[in-house]
C-alpha cells in the first residue's frame, strides 16, 4: 500500500478524543502537514469536557492503573487516588516539528526505532511520553513495543534533564577503584538519587555501566566528556564548576 499524505487523505476523528492518526494511511512525507495535524491546541484540554475523556475518579478500579491521554500531551506517570491526578504537559509546536522531521527522515529505514529514539533525545534532551504514539504510528509499531525499548535502556530519559548530565560508571573496574565512594559523595553533594536533578536545575545524576575507560578507573562522563581517575577532590571541583560555586582568583 502506498504511503499517502495526510494532507490528501485527511485525518479520521474519534468523537471522544478528537483527531486521531490512522495507521493505515502511513506516515506523511510532508512533515509540515504532519506537525500541523498533531500540534497542541492553544489551551490545554480540561478533564471531563467533551474534547477529552475524563480522568479516573479516586477510588474506582480505573484509578489504579496508568492513564493514557491524547497523544498531544505528555503524561507523567502517577496513579490517581494514590498520588494525585496525572500531570499533563503539552508538546510545544517546536518540539512537535522536531519530532516530525526526525520521523520523516527515518520512516522508511529498517530497524529505525533505536535511531529515532536517540535522535529525539539528542534534539529535545529527553523523550516525552507523548512522542511514543507518534513514533509507533510512523514506524508501524505498537505503543507497547516502543515503550518496551524506551524503558529497557537506561540511557533514554522520559523526564527533562538538568543543564548538565553527570554519569558515574558503576561497572566492575570503577567499583573496585572507589566508584561507590564517588556515587555517595555525588548524591550527598547534589541532594539527589539516581535519575534525579539538583534543586537548582544544574545537574542530573545518572548511573552508566562501562564508559570503556577501565584503565583510568574510576571514571565519569560529564555531558559529552569522559573524565578518568576521579577522586573526591576532583569530583568536588567538577560539581563546584557546574553549580557556579567557583571562587574567582
Render pLDDT for 2-33 as a digit per residue (tens, 0 to 9): 444 444 444 444 445 444 444 434 444 455 55
pLDDT at 67: 37
Which residues touch 58 (CB under 8 Å, ≥6 apart)? Answer: 80, 81
**Radius of gyration for the chain, computed over Cα atoms and rounded to the nearest angstrom:** 21
pLDDT at 243: 82
pLDDT in tens, 54-71: 444 444 444 333 333 344
pLDDT at 244: 78
> Domain segments of the chain: what residues?
6-152, 164-242
Which residues touch 86 (CB under 8 Å, ≥6 apart)? Answer: 55, 66, 67, 69, 75, 76, 77, 78, 80
pLDDT at 216: 97
Q: Hey, what CATH topology would domain 164-242 get?
A: Glutaredoxin (3.40.30)
Distance CA 152, CA 139 (A): 19
pLDDT in tens, 160-204: 999 999 999 999 999 999 999 999 999 999 999 999 999 999 999
pLDDT in tens, 105-127: 997 899 999 999 999 999 999 99
Distance CA 55, CA 48 (A): 7
Amino acid at each position: 500500500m502506498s504511503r499517502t499524505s495526510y494532507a490528501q487523505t485527511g485525518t479520521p476523528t474519534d468523537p471522544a478524543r478528537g483527531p486521531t492518526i490512522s495507521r493505515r494511511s502511513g506516515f506523511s512525507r510532508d512533515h509540515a502537514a504532519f506537525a500541523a495535524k498533531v500540534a497542541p491546541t492553544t489551551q490545554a484540554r480540561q478533564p471531563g469536557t467533551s474534547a477529552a475523556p475524563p480522568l479516573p475518579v479516586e477510588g474506582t478500579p480505573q484509578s489504579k492503573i496508568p492513564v493514557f491521554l491524547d497523544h498531544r500531551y505528555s503524561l507523567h506517570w502517577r496513579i490517581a487516588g494514590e498520588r494525585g491526578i496525572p500531570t499533563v504537559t503539552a508538546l510545544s509546536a517546536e518540539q512537535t516539528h522536531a519530532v516530525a522531521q526526525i520521523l520523516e527522515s527515518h520512516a522508511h529505514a529498517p530497524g529505525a526505532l533505536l535511531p529515532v529514539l536517540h535522535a529525539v533525545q539528542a534534539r529535545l534532551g529527553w523523550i516525552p511520553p507523548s512522542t511514543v504514539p507518534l513514533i509507533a504510528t510512523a514506524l508501524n509499531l505498537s505503543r507497547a513495543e516502543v515503550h518496551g525499548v524506551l524503558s529497557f535502556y537506561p540511557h533514554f530519559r522520559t523526564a527533562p534533564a538538568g543543564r548538565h548530565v553527570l554519569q558515574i560508571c558503576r561497572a566492575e573496574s570503577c567499583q573496585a577503584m572507589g566508584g561507590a565512594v564517588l556515587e555517595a559523595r555525588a548524591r550527598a553533594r547534589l541532594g539527589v538519587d539516581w535519575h534525579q536533578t539538583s534543586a537548582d536545575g544544574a545537574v542530573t545524576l545518572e548511573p552508566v555501566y562501562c564508559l570503556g575507560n577501565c584503565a583510568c578507573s574510576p571514571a565519569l562522563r560529564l555531558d559529552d566528556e569522559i573524565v578518568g581517575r576521579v577522586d573526591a577532590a576532583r569530583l568536588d571541583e567538577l560539581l563546584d564548576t557546574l553549580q557556579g560555586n567557583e571562587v574567582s582568583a
